[in-house]
Amino acid sequence: MVFTPVDQAAWPRAQMYYYFSQMAPTGYSMTVDVDVTHLYEAVHRMGVKFFPAYLWLVTKAIAAVPELRTAVKDGAVGYWDVLTPLYPVMHEDGNISLMWTEYDPSFEAFFAAYLENAEQHKDVRGVLGRPGLPPENAYTVSCIPWVGFKHFAIHSYDNKPYYFPSIEAGKYRTENGKRLMPLSVTCHHATTDGLHVARFLEELQHGMDTFGA
């Protein structure tokens, strides 16, 4: 993972970043339906799990939108080249731990690493499901497969310069022959506008429509 600082003197977003991070710290959420019809069929045909495919596709779509990869490192604002999904794993007793699997442009490699993490750390309990701390480029992505919500929002900046998106999926429903899954995207307005979320959603839908092709 590579972090590239921006030249704030030449950064077109510098004033907007300052306003929404220092003068009026603002975050927002939107919930949309994504069509998982092809993805659902593809993962079953391929014999892989839906959740890691979802993690990989979301992370891949984020990689196409620099604004969603904005962060502060050593006091400098910049972009990570990719993010690392930080996601929950559920134990037999219903409690969860947070796990992370480094992104790989190959789904096959990512899925193998996902399964290896699940097996290697399956008996770990506590907040973190792996030894050590999540990497600096980790973002939160999750799914509530039991609830088909219309909106979901989470805002917890706690005065910290955290600008990665938080992504939450819900239970899909069938409508007019399609499987539609609610997807909530929570962003910090200092780095991310509606246009950037739209680009992310376009990338994500394209990835879901072509997965395994």
What are 166's strand-pairing partners? 140, 186
Task: Tell me which long-range contacts 22-26 makes (C-beta under 8 A, separation of at least 24).
Answer: 25/157, 25/190, 26/188, 26/189, 26/190
Tell me what pLDDT residue 16 has.
95
| Residue 35, both tokens | 């069509």
**Would the pLDDT of 165 be above 90?**
yes
Residue 38 is a catalytic residue: no
Catalytic residue chosen out of the listed positions 38, 189, 196, 206: 189
- Residues 11-52: tens digit of each pLDDT: 999 999 999 998 998 999 999 999 999 999 999 999 999 999
82 CB contacts (<8 Å, ≥6 apart)?
A: 1, 59, 62, 63, 69, 103, 137
Tell me what pLDDT residue 122 has.
83
Distance of CA 115 to the CA centre of its chain: 19
- Flag the least confident range among 42-51, 72-81, 124-133, 167-176: 124-133
- Flag the least confident range among 23-27, 40-44, 101-105, 194-198: 23-27
Tell me what pLDDT residue 91 has.
85
Q: DSSP alpha helices (H): ranges in the chain? A: 14-18, 37-46, 50-63, 107-120, 194-210
**Would the pLDDT of 9 be above 80?**
yes
- Residues 112-160: tens digit of each pLDDT: 999 999 999 888 888 998 989 999 999 999 999 999 999 998 766 566 7
Q: How far is CA 29 from CA 47, 74, 153, 168, 171, in A?
A: 33, 28, 6, 11, 18
Closest CA to 61 of 39, 43, 77: 39
| Dihedral angle, C-alpha 25, 31, 35, 37, nearest 10 ° | 110
- Taking residues 59-71, report their average pLDDT: 97
Average pLDDT value over all residues in the chain: 94
- Taking residues 155-177, report their average pLDDT: 87
- Using DSSP's 3-state secondary structure scheme, residue 210 falls into helix
Q: Is the pTM of this model over 0.85?
A: yes
Torsion sign over Cα 119, 104, 44, 46 = negative
